[in-house]
Amino acid sequence: MLKRTIFILLGFCLITISVSSQELQARVSVVASRVNSTVDKKIFATLQTQLNNLMNNRKWTSDQFSPNEKIECTFILNIESIVETNVYKASLTIQAARPVYNTSYQAALINYIDQDVAFKYQEFQPVEFNENRIQGTDAAVANITAIFAYYAYMIIGLDYDSFAPKGGDAYFRKAQNIVNNAPEGKNVSGWRVFDGSRNRYWLNENLINTRYNILHDIIYSYYRGGMDKMFDAEAEARNNALQTLTQLQAFNKENVNTMFLQFFLQAKAQELIGIFKKGTADQKVKAVEILSEIDVVNASRYKQDLK
């Protein structure tokens, strides 16, 4: 599948030969600065290597990707404490982006911190993912690969949604399979409806719930109708972006407190300010009105920068 070929402009026509290649260009970092100095930190370097191998060497789809089509993403596993022998509590920062047509700009797809990461790990134990045997024999051992696989599918789903209407549905379903068969055990959380209102369960639920199908239109229209047209049709792109915000506002009024809204807006404040900075006075007023309502945390920034 050559979904990214349109973003390579070399000044002449290219014939791109698709090759079978992994989908992700991932960089995984394991940070253990908070862990007691008596622990041999080499174990975390080994884990980092194994997680990089998992994310970059596994085929997550049946599609063919050429090297330039790979989805750039970053994972930072921050070890916060040792719960018990070989069992760790951590947070995971997930970031992914996709290129904007005819520019060098990378638009964020996901910028999220998962605070519910607990896992068991002994150096050199296999770090593998089998979608037919997600739970494994030890929940704490299986949890780390289930979490990374879940976010791999969510990233791919969001990337595909940004290029085609509801294009990522198959991968959100794969993430749902992980949620439905997620490890259960001591210290393991974030997979269930009762684990809070902002977790892996709810993010996936929002994106597979047919009541919320408008979310896929919003993702597609923001990236393809808005961001990708900024270079060639700036006025149209800005109108489309404003329409996306109007849809988000309407969605939020009908479905209060869904996880998706803040997830989508995470780290987009500067990007949205950049979009509307050159807009008309009416567009700025409307953008500030909507953004101040749906992104309260950054309301003062919108009001200041889009005066």
The number of angstroms, rounded, from the C-alpha of 88 to the middle of its chain's C-alpha atoms is 23
Which pLDDT belongs to residue 41?
A: 86
* 58-86 tens-digit pLDDT: 999 999 888 888 999 999 999 999 999 99
| Enclosing domain of residue 199 | 5-208
Using the 3D structure, point to which of 208, 237, 272 is the last residue of a domain.
208
Q: Are residues 148 and 84 in the same domain?
A: yes
- Report the pLDDT value the prediction gives residue 110, as an integer from 0 to 100: 96
Q: Please state, in angstroms and rounded to a whole number, the distance separating the CA atoms of residues 31 and 118.
A: 14
- Indicate if 188 and 266 belong to the same structural domain: no
The whole-number pLDDT of residue 11 equals: 34
Q: 3-class SS at 13?
A: coil
Q: What is the CA radius of gyration of the chain?
A: 20
291 & 255 share domain: yes
Q: Are residues 28 and 99 in the same domain?
A: yes
DSSP-assigned letter for residue 5 = G
Residue that terminates a domain, selected from 193, 208, 223: 208
Residue holding tokens 């889009």? 306
Q: Which residues of the chain have pLDDT under 70?
A: 1-20, 37, 136-137
**153 and 201: one domain?**
yes
Same domain, 231 and 269: yes
In percent, how much of the chain has pLDDT > 90?
A: 80
- Co-location of 141 and 228 in the same domain: no
Residues 29 and 176 in one domain: yes
- Please count the structural domains in the chain: 2
Q: Between β-strands 71-84 and 24-31, what pairing exists: parallel, antiparallel or unpaired?
A: parallel
Q: Do 202 and 120 belong to one domain?
A: yes
Give CA–CA dist 230/7, Å, rounded: 13
Dihedral sign (CA 207, 212, 213, 217): negative
The 3-state DSSP class for residue 98 equals strand
Which among 111, 71, 95 has a CA at the least distance from the CA of 268? 111
Looking at residue 32, its pLDDT comes to: 92
User: In this structure, which amino acid lies at residue 69?
Assistant: E
DSSP 8-state symbol, 7:
G
Q: Please tell me whether residues 256 and 178 are part of one structural domain.
A: no
Same domain, 200 and 235: no
Q: What is the pTM of this model?
A: 0.91
- Whole-angstrom CA distances from 87 to 29, 44, 79, 84, 139 are 18, 12, 10, 5, 11
- Tokens at 38, concatenated: 């008596």
Q: Which of 141, 174, 208 is the last residue of a domain?
A: 208
* Same domain as 43, residue 111: yes
